[in-house]
Amino acid sequence: MAFGMNTQSGNFLPIVKYDARAGRFFRVDKDNGVTEQMDITDPNMKFAIDFGSIEVGYVQFSAQGPVRHMVPYDGRQLPQQPQDKGVEGKVLFRPGFYALVAGQAIGGIREWCSNAAILLNALDELFNLYAEQPEAAAGKIPLISIVSTVPVTSGTGAQKSTNYKPVFKIVGWVDRLTDMGERTVPPPAPKALPATASAPPPVQPVTPPPVAPATAPPAGMPF
């Protein structure tokens, strides 16, 4: 299970979602009570993910929105998995994550919450990569892109299905935005260099071609 594992519900910020069955990334907006999904899948699109407040645990997606039993991913003990079951007898709360993301291309600061196992595993790998970098130890958060997807087939016969694992790439580093709130997950400890090794050169951010946003970028959003 990815990661290792406050009860909250509902969406208070607009959201993004990743459809693992199609390998597509969406921003979700509401206009006069009508929910609109915009496909923003683009390998050149970049956005920040706030590993300074990421939460892990268990989540159920109800008609009213996600119901989360989660804690900040800071090494504390994970909550117990609720044993509520649906009409088919399956446990409703599955391992998941909650994070804030931000960027002009996604329309400002948004929430990202999912219990898709294939996404959770990919994000776990991204977090481990992030935690090894000196910029992370300095308190910065990564700018990332979903550069491609990898099809993963499971099951057999009528139960056979294919999901698409996102391939994340760190393309830069930024400071946490004030609007992201208090940091609840401390920066990772700096990695000690071997005694005979010299310090590596600083990592230079990779700036992909700009993506024209569907709407005007949020005022004050620096990336």
Please tell me the pTM assigned to this model. 0.82
CB atoms within 10 A of CB 2: 18
- Angstrom distances, CA of residue 143 to CA of 22, 140, 206: 23, 10, 10
Q: H helices within 132-211, ranges in order?
A: 134-137
What is the three-class DSSP state of 96?
A: strand
The whole-number pLDDT of residue 87 equals 85
The whole-number pLDDT of residue 192 equals 77
Please tell me the distance from the alpha carbon of residue 198 to that of residue 21, in angstroms, as a whole number.
45
CB atoms within 10 A of CB 194: 6
**Which residues does 210 contact at the CB level (< 8 Å), separation at least 6?**
44
CB 51 within 8 A of CB 74: no
The whole-number pLDDT of residue 12 equals 72
> In what helix (H) or strand (E) does residue 49 lie, and over which residues does it extend?
strand 47-49
Q: Which of 214, 209, 167 lies closest to 37 in space, CA to CA?
A: 214
Strand partners for 144: 47, 170
Average pLDDT, consecutive stretches of 10 residues, N- to C-terminus, the chain (223 residues): 49 88 95 92 97 97 89 93 88 95 96 96 98 98 98 90 97 97 96 66 51 55 82
